């Protein structure tokens, strides 16, 4: 059984290459892997908005049906993976906060449109709201996102399962 090379060994191999060879290697990765392309698009070309929109669309599509589909799929795992994938290709704190709030906003839209869902659905939304609030506070982004955080509280005021109460408590605990 052969062992996998570690980062130190990879760096040794890369140091043996010329600058031109390294450029070609990165260009090959850029063409072959979409997440590498997105990483460079977001970091080198300052085009994070296109990358962010791609992943926000994945999140929204799980809760807000489009096209011929009449009902949302509501697969939290797919939406959370989109958030995780975005985090891997972008270093934008604002973008990460934006996509986390998009997750909750999409879930709230879905509930308002289709009625009460189930407890795991609300737990997932509550957890993401808390994660977003903590992150927004830590990164000093409250002024940018406070209106959206409060809008979610307004839109959930008549929802069941203690959803509104939990979001309100989270907001008060970290930002109140």
Q: What is the pLDDT of residues 39-66, one digit of tens each?
A: 777 777 666 888 999 999 999 999 998 8
Q: Name the residue ranges covered by the structural domains of the chain.
A: 9-46, 49-175
The pLDDT tens digits of the residues spanning 74-116 come to 999 999 999 999 999 998 999 999 999 999 999 999 999 988 8
Percent of residues, the chain, with pLDDT higher than 90: 61
8 Å CB contact between 117 and 74 = yes
What distances in angstroms separate CA 63 from CA 69, 85, 144, one per listed residue? 11, 18, 24
Q: DSSP state, 144?
A: H
In our burial notation (b when 16+ CB lie closer than 10 A, e otherwise), range 82-105 reads bbebbeebbebeebbbbbbbbbbb
């Amino acid at each position: 059984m052969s062992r996998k090379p570690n980062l130190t060994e990879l760096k040794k191999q890369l140091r043996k290459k010329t600058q031109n060879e390294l450029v070609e290697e990165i260009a090959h990765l850029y063409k072959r892997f979409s997440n590498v392309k997105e990483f460079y698009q977001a970091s080198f070309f300052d085009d994070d908005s296109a990358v962010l929109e791609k992943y926000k669309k994945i999140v929204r599509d799980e809760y807000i049906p489009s096209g011929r589909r009449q009902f949302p799929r509501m697969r939290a795992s797919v939406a959370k993976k989109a958030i995780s994938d975005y985090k891997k290709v972008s270093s934008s704190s604002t973008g990460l906060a934006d996509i986390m709030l998009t997750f909750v906003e999409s879930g709230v839209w879905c509930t308002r449109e289709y009625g009460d869902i189930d407890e795991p659905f609300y737990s997932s939304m509550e957890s993401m709201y808390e994660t977003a609030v903590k992150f927004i506070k830590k990164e000093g982004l409250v002024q940018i996102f406070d209106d959206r955080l409060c809008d979610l509280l307004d839109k959930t005021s008549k929802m069941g399962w203690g959803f509104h109460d939990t979001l309100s408590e989270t907001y008060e605990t970290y930002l109140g």
